[in-house]
C-alpha cells in the first residue's frame, strides 16, 4: 500500500512540476500584465469544451507565471486513484512564448520539434518510456500525439498538443492499468468552440 501511495504522490508532484513549467489551461480572455515589460496581453483565449470523467475527486485549476518564458500557465487537472491505481487527466494551455514564435517564423518545423519535446519532457518525469509520436489534426489544426509506457509498462500516458490561434494546448490522460478507451474518451472530448 505504501509503495502505491508513493507512486500516486510521485505522479501528482511530477504533473504539477511539469504543468508549472511547460503548459497551461484557461478560460475566456487573457489580459495578464507582463511583469517584466509592464504590458498587457490581449489575445483572446480560444474557448473550449472538455469532459473530465466523473469521479469522487475534484478538478483543480491553477495559474502560474513561468518567468523564463514570461507566460501565464493555466492548468486543469483531475488526479486520483481507482482501486489503488493512480490516474490523471489534464488540460493545460498558455500563450505561445515569443522565443518559440520567433523560431516558428524562421522554421515552421520548429513547432513539431517543440511539441515532441514538451510531450517527452512531461512523460519522462513520470518514468515514461517507449514513446510513439504521430501528427494529428483537430478541425484542420495540426498537432502532435504521443503515447508512452509508465509504471514499468503497467500503464500509459497519451497526450495531444496543438497550437490554436496564439495558444498552446496540451491534453493528457493516463495512469496505471487504465483502459485506453477511458483515455481516448477524454482526449476526444476536447473541442474548440467557434
**Spans of all domains in the chain:** 2-192
Kindly report the CATH number that applies to the domain delimited by 2-192.
3.40.1000
pTM: 0.77
Tell me 38's DSSP state.
T
pLDDT one digit per residue (tens) for the chain, 194 residues = 444 334 333 333 333 333 333 333 333 333 333 333 344 445 678 899 999 999 999 999 999 998 888 889 999 999 999 887 899 999 999 999 988 999 999 998 889 999 999 899 878 888 899 999 999 999 888 899 999 999 989 999 999 999 998 999 999 999 999 999 999 999 999 999 87
- Distance in angstroms (rounded) separating the CA atoms of residues 162 and 53: 22
Selection from 128, 135, 12, 114 nearest residue 69 by Cα: 114
Cell reading at 171: 491534453
Do the bridges between strand 85-95 and strand 71-82 make them parallel or antiparallel, or are there none, so unpaired? antiparallel
Amino acid at each position: 500500500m505504501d509503495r502505491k501511495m508513493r507512486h500516486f504522490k510521485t505522479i501528482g508532484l511530477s504533473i504539477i512540476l511539469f504543468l508549472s513549467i511547460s503548459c497551461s489551461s484557461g478560460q475566456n480572455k487573457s489580459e495578464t500584465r507582463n511583469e517584466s515589460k509592464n504590458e498587457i496581453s490581449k489575445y483572446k483565449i480560444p474557448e473550449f469544451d472538455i469532459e473530465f470523467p466523473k469521479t469522487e475527486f475534484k478538478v483543480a485549476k491553477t495559474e502560474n507565471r513561468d518567468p523564463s518564458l514570461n507566460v501565464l500557465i493555466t492548468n486543469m487537472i483531475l488526479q486520483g486513484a481507482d482501486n489503488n491505481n493512480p490516474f490523471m487527466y489534464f488540460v493545460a494551455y498558455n500563450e505561445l512564448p515569443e522565443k518559440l514564435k520567433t523560431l516558428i517564423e524562421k522554421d515552421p518545423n520548429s513547432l513539431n520539434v517543440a511539441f515532441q519535446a514538451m510531450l517527452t519532457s512531461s512523460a519522462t518525469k513520470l518514468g515514461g518510456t517507449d514513446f510513439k509520436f504521430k501528427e494529428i489534426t483537430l478541425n484542420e489544426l495540426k498537432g502532435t500525439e504521443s503515447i508512452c509506457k509508465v509504471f514499468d509498462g503497467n500503464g500509459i500516458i497519451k497526450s495531444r498538443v496543438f497550437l490554436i490561434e496564439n495558444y498552446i494546448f496540451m491534453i493528457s490522460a493516463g495512469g496505471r492499468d487504465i483502459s485506453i478507451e477511458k483515455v481516448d474518451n477524454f482526449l476526444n472530448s476536447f473541442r474548440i468552440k467557434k
